[in-house]
Chain A
Amino acid sequence: MSYIPIADQKDEMHDPHSFVAKYVWSMDHKVIAIQYGTIAVGVGLVALVLSALMRLQLGYPDTFAFIDPAEYYQYVTMHGMIMVVYLLTALFLGGFGNYLIPLQIGARDMVFPFLNMLSVWVYLLSVIILMASFFVSGGPTGAGWTLYPPQAITEGTPGADMGIVLMLASLAVFIVAFTMGGLNYVTTVLQARTHGMTLMRMPLSVWGIFVATILGLFAFPALFVSAIMMAFDKLLGTSFFMPAMVSIGETLEHTGGSPVLFQHLFWFFGHPEVYIVALPAFGLVSDVLSCHARKNIFGYRMMVWAIVAIGGLSFIVWAHHMYVSGMNPYFGFFFAFTTLIIAVPTAIKVYNWVLTLWEGNIRLTVPMLFACGFIFTFLHGGLTGIFLGNVTVDLPLSDTYFVIAHFHMVMGVSPVMVLFASIYHWFPKMSGKMFNVTLGKIHFWATFFGTYAIYLPMHYLGFLGVPRRYYSMGTTEFLPESANTLNANITLAAIWVALFQLVFIFNMIWSLWRGKKCDGNPWEATSLEWQTPENPPAHGNWGPELPTVYRWAYEYSVPGVKADFVPQNIAPEDVETTDGKAYIGHED
């Protein structure tokens, strides 16, 4: 007896009936995706408020009495950690990964639905632990999102007592949650595809999420280990990361540890983490661009290999975050080299996006606007990355606002642009309703110009030498008065952008409730999730029969076919062609 692939097995459907089984303790990947998304957006709003508070202090120092230096550092730290891990990672992989993988590869669910359900609840637990740190004595940790020891666990740093412990615990719990989800995503993609769905026919969304999940499974262990070791240093008095030191006039018990070890472990996680966020964004935006440009994605194979290559390279570039850490300077040469090499596959992707738009029949819908916005912001952030990848250029720019501007453009604004594009793009599928287009467009233009108003001036501040993470600049000789004016303007722009996110939230909630009902494929897209028999898809996704896939997901505007798109699951003889012959399309 040989093993039978999932797609050929008889279906056992256990439809949940009670409200609790359907929407709370649900094992359906779509519900889990929305639970992941809701939690992530909720905690993301906390991060948004924190960033606004931070900007208030920076723009108008000595004005807001309720923000003291300790609180400012706590805002910085929590904003960073929430955005990178609890919002972006969770929303791209837990949210879109869960929603799109089974639907786009033609599976009924993830391979281990129960584990998947555990994943979201453990994720919620990690968020609760993280939020709890706001309420303990001393408040959350203020060590900066990189949590560098010795300062992170040394008396004098905000939250060095309970805050840092809760942060480390929360991260460890998050990693457990991610692993449970991630194993599911990888196994589902490789082992549970439907008839005809080869790897090279998968939409790029799945490719991006798939490779990012593998990165996560290999990179998060380093964070897990460093969190355990730092917790030991803090709670048991070990000295993994703690050298002998004098703090507040007292010689500490610690001796002989290595702070640089933490940095290596942290960035061995931290750099792949950038791509854990970026690769799903690359994938999702490719699908949105191709669909709304009514053109096949340019260079599909190259796009796939670029994702794989970026994923591989991302493991050997980590120390470019550490040029000023005191590591052996010879390492700088190696890591600068690998860092610049990674620009090659990334550039391939950017060219291919632009070439996808080239002579396309572009529909400037709301998702398309955000996707185009992504190309701008990503190109922008990517180019400043080339500056910072070079050791000699990085040294003077390190720890200035230039760095803030760079990574906010490349892994803050850009992925968030894709998040918005994807939420708008798949909202009709998830809810069965259409969002309000006018509000969506207002949201886009306000966000797009707003983020430029925030981050473009920051490059300039960085060149002036304005250091990051300072509570206030005070009076310095090298900073002109105009730097403060610029800072105040950035703050105004930040508050503007933050306020316009309320338009988005309002649009989503209102549309869910009052939006116009739409049919299953409002964008006339080709991939499988738009071809479900019901909208939104029911439990089990496909009704009695799994779909069969005949071609890739980018059959748009092909000559000889009456419609301007051919879904993946339409049999060649059922395609309406001008000459009446069967149409296969791009098979491989």
Chain B
Amino acid sequence: MPQFFSNKRLILLLVGVIFLVALISFSLRDRQNASLPEQIIKDTVGFGQSLVSKPTHYVTGIFNNVDALLNTYDENKRLKSRLEEFAVLQGEVNDLKIENDKFRDLVDKKEDLKKFNPIQATVIARNPDQWEEKLILDQGTMDGIKVNMAVRTSEGLIGKIVQTTPYTSEVELLTTNNTNYRVSAVVSNKKQVFGLIEGFDEKRNELILKRIDSSLNVKKGDKVMTSGLGGIFPKGILIGEVTKVTTDDFGLTKLAYVKPAANFSMLDHVIIAKRDSINIDGSDGSSTNKDQTNKIKSDTTGDGE
């Protein structure tokens, strides 16, 4: 048997390993921006991927349609029972809308945090190894997509844009482990209760809503929406429903578990919400990567002592 590693090979291997470690640490440091060759490769692969994804979406669409058809009877029965309720609600909503517009005119306020410009996008890929919860969309900076925009489905919020190239963009889902990922949220109760969506509980498969004022009341079943106060996301996108309320580790604020409204598997068409009013890099944006965490970290360690 020849020697497994000859001297030349061993040196080559060592140099290779050193080179790789350097490359890994280099690319880990700056993952928000893609360099030009990276962008070109991403766009090329993205183009190929979108060619493959169209027929597969078509096939899965057929399966989904058949599935929907099988449930039609039950669904129809349930929907009919809610139809009367819906008519009453519709009248009420119209009434409120007119009233709201009138008041807006009265105070001469044009901007609205709720308003957004929807951009339709198709999911062309999902990170196959699923260690990071990422999607790749077929719209990029050429279509007006910018980093930190909110991404939603018809059911609710699913994540935000973390990286863009000219023809593709990358979404980090709400279910990520990234500690710098925050969404400013509001619990719509009788009173508005504000908090931050921070982190994901893997055991319960639910989002964690932190920093709720402990004097305010949050109940199981309350709906959680984006507040629009984070600076980037529009207001009023449904995030989920509260399932459990406890106090946090330090007993100072409340913590709620939120079951996400959107279904995170089988995502194909999503809507990117481009907010109409001015964007400020607040807690929804990337400023959380810097100052705020340090501040909070020093705060919490102070509390712990």
Please indicate whether A and B come from the same complex rather than being unrelated chains. no
Residues on B facing A (Cβ under 8 Å): none
Residues on A facing B (Cβ under 8 Å): none
